Amino acid sequence: MFLHPAVGRRAGLRLAVGALLAFPPLSPTGARAAVFPVSDAQGLAAAVAAARAGDTIELATADYGLLRIDGRQHEGPPVQIRPASGARPRFSGVVVAGSSGWALYGLAVLGPRNPLVAVNQSTDIRLGGFTFTGATPNKDAWDDENTGLYVRNSSRVTVTNSRFADLRKAAFFQRSQRVILADCTVEWVREGLNIAAMDRMLVRRNLIRNIQPNYAKDEHPDAIQFWTTNETTGSSNVAMADNYLALGGPRAVQGFFVAGGGEAGAENEHLMHVRIEVRNNVYFGSAANSLRFGGVRNGYILRNTVVSSAHGDREKLTPPDDTGRTSGGQTARIWTFRNVNTRIERNLASHYGSNTGQIVVGNLDIIDPKFGGQVAWTDVLPPRSDAEAPPVAAFRILPGSVAHVAGVGASLPSRVGQQTTRLEAVVAATNAYHAQLDNPEAWFTKRPD
């Protein structure tokens, strides 16, 4: 049911069941912002059509089906869609198209729709505190075929404090600019994040774990993948910092897979990625492409910890089983190919492989059974955990160690992944990140000359 906020909407008094409850705050134009309490899909559609900048749509607990925000553009403070106090609204999908000035918080989107949430040709969109869940939330990605989120042809989009689970793929980001994905958890998926033709993007403090590819179908899983297929340009000005890829189980899952068209030869150099920074991340797993960096101009790989799980010590000795649930393992490593003006500095890794066009300085190599190395694991890190996704603190550099003294390896955040589900904290965090879109230069480290 839709309850109109007031007969004179710009007077903006909130009415609920016919009673006058409160004076909403003034908008920047001097009119009072309205609050629309709704409890069904019809009322929500009416509120979306009636809302103006600064208004709030409050949702009661209900199943709202598919939410469409199409061609609704606002300047100034966004229209908020959020749960009423204690409410748990549910959706089968969300589409934001040709719209601007919307902030959606605390929504649970569940089901087989592909994608569950789509943002296309829109600007100034905030998504905070979402749950993106496939049709069968059973911690098994094999029976899910949809993607959680698409962001395409859009600008100024912020996604924070959200969880992607039980999906074929977590998210696509394509042909968009000024985008932030921060403080999110990705788990029980067969593929993580896909990035194509993006400009000015921050991927920060996310937790990616429990990726479940189907090796029997030759799936090649990546936690975070860059690609250029069917694009006319690579990605540029992308910073990936403070993320934890917890992939220590019996599955070789690739970590940061940055592949640029320039790897294929000079005729594809227009597809090179430009200014990609991978800083202060942890990879724990058993794929050779733990941090693969190719076809990048002006890249920076700084102070990452890239280390093998026990499964990685097997180095292909254990073949995949017949079910496709597990795979052989390889030593985790940093691989770099055909880059231009790229710097690889103060990383801690099990192994390195690189070629021309790069400056390699101050890195440390952990001793492993396949390649040897410089320092023993326990000289620089706590003892290696047998868990698939140990807490990120398991990779804290030991005080006083050679790595600590030299400033090598990741300096860990206290937490990674979804930081809060408390609605007001989600709103504040999303707004704080969204403000950073005005100064993307702050996401990057100044490189030495």
Q: What is the pLDDT of residues 57-109, one digit of tens each?
A: 999 999 999 999 999 999 999 999 999 999 999 999 999 999 999 999 999 99
339 burial (CB, 10 Å; 0-12 / 13-18 / 19+) is buried
Residues 6+ apart with CB under 8 A from 311: 248, 249, 250, 251, 252, 285, 286, 329
Phi/psi of residue 103, each to 5°? -130, 115
Render pLDDT for 328-339 as a digit per residue (tens, 0 to 9): 899 999 999 889
Q: What is the CA radius of gyration of the chain?
A: 23
Q: Which fold has domain 106-443?
A: Pectate Lyase C-like (2.160.20)
Residues 95 and 67: beta-carbon distance below 8 Å: yes
Residues 336 and 293: beta-carbon distance below 8 Å: yes
**Per-residue pLDDT, 319:** 60
Unique residue bearing structure tokens 């042909």: 175
Whether 326 shows a pLDDT value over 80: the answer reads yes
What type of residue is 93? G
**Per-residue pLDDT, 216:** 87
Residues 97 and 122: beta-carbon distance below 8 Å: yes
Residues 243 and 350: beta-carbon distance below 8 Å: no
d(CA 310, CA 278): 24
Residues 262 and 355: beta-carbon distance below 8 Å: no
308: enclosing H helix or E strand: strand 305-308
**Per-residue pLDDT, 269:** 83
**Per-residue pLDDT, 266:** 62
Unique residue bearing structure tokens 């729709």: 113
Tell me the pLDDT band of 267, cut-offs 50, 70 and 90: low
Return mean pLDDT, the chain.
90
Spell out where 71-130 has E strands: 79-83, 90-91, 93-97, 100-105, 108-110, 117-120, 123-128
**Per-residue pLDDT, 317:** 53
Q: How many residues does the chain have?
A: 449
Tell me the pLDDT band of 214, cut-offs 50, 70 and 90: very high
Question: SS3 of 127, please?
Answer: strand
**Per-residue pLDDT, 260:** 80
- Among 107, 57, 106, 62, which Cα is nearest to 78's? 57
**Per-residue pLDDT, 2:** 39
Question: SS3 of 279, please?
Answer: strand
- Among 185, 182, 346, which Cα is nearest to 280's? 346
d(CA 217, CA 90): 33
Complete DSSP assignment for 154-185: -EEEEEES-EEEEEEEEEEEES-EEEEEES-E
Unique residue bearing structure tokens 């597809």: 271
pTM of the model: 0.92
d(CA 436, CA 239): 13
**Per-residue pLDDT, 17:** 28
- Among 107, 64, 62, which Cα is nearest to 82's? 107
d(CA 259, CA 293): 6
- Among 194, 159, 187, which Cα is nearest to 173's? 194
Q: Which two tokens stand for residue 405?
A: 């003294």
Percent of the chain with pLDDT over 70: 89
Of residues 202 and 265, more confidence is placed in 202
- Among 257, 165, 171, 260, which Cα is nearest to 220's? 257
Render pLDDT for 370-427 as a digit per residue (tens, 0 to 9): 888 999 999 999 999 999 999 999 999 999 999 999 999 999 999 999 999 999 999 9
How distant, in Å, are the alpha carbons of 195, 236, 422 from that of 192? 10, 20, 25
Q: Which two tokens stand for residue 93?
A: 């999908």
Quote the DSSP letter at residue 249: S
The domain ranges of the chain are 106-443
Mean pLDDT, residues 317-345:
85
Mean pLDDT, residues 3-20:
33
Phi/psi of residue 435, each to 5°? -65, -25
Render pLDDT for 145-189 as a digit per residue (tens, 0 to 9): 999 999 999 999 999 999 999 999 999 999 999 999 999 999 999
What type of residue is 385? S
CB atoms within 10 A of CB 402: 14
Which range (16-30, 37-51, 121-135, 169-183) has the least confidence?
A: 16-30
Residues 6+ apart with CB under 8 A from 385: 248, 394
Question: SS3 of 380, please?
Answer: helix
